[in-house]
Structure 1
């Protein structure tokens, strides 16, 4: 899979590090605000604006954390990285209080407590564990385990839809 920002400088006139400096100067901190600002003030496409905002928000990520995530999405699982990235973008857009905590086999999404876990379950799917005690299961929202009450399998980015984001937001709000 190729890096989606290979042509960033060619298409926008700035490299990712240059865009990070621009965003730092804006004083904005929330993902959605940064995306909207980049689109309106700089005429960027949603894809570039979203990627720059994610890179800006993750700029303080430690090398060890980045290595843990890279290891999870390497080899046959590399094609799943856009799903992970989209889930993190969605979750961090809920509020500045979301912590993204990489571990060896998954990434915990936390507020005051863990509300979700993202895992590259196989080479074909990402499993999102969601903490929604008391919610009924459906054909898509399945029973979870001790770490998370429910789980959802995601094979392509397009499966991160309003229904899934609603469950994720509800778990965030309960945390």
Structure 2
């Protein structure tokens, strides 16, 4: 992640480190869940996957509005 990351993507390195999964996997699982609402997705990530509220919110915000945030830097 570059030093200019803002918004939800700024949490991505910590999420990957803490939970040991790439962001692409989380986003794929969220899509497959069939859930569409912010609260439903956050609650699902917290209850089913043990994510903290901030990490679940960051993933959900990006998932629901990917065009609003810069893509994660994977260089």
- TM-score, normalising length from structure 1? 0.33
1:43 is aligned to 2:43: no
Aligned length: 63
Gaps of 5+ in 1: 68-175
1:14 is aligned to 2:40: no
CA distance in 2, matches of 1:38, 1:17: 14
Distance 1:57 1:42, change over 3 A: same
Distance 1:26 1:35, change over 3 A: same
Q: Which structure: larger Rg? A: 1
Structure 1 position 4, deviation (Å):
2.5
Deviations 1:81-131 (A, max 9, x none): xxxxxxxxxxxxxxxxxxxxxxxxxxxxxxxxxxxxxxxxxxxxxxxxxxx
Bigger relative contact order (CA 8 A; separation at least 6): 2
CA-based RMSD: 2.0
Distance 1:13 1:28, change over 3 A: same
Contact 2:62–2:69 under 8 Å retained in 1: no
The 4+ residue runs of structure 1 with deviation greater than 2 A are 1-5
Structure 1 position 14, deviation (Å):
1.4
| Higher share of residues assigned helix | 2
Structure 1 position 5, deviation (Å):
2.2
- TM-score, normalising length from structure 2? 0.72
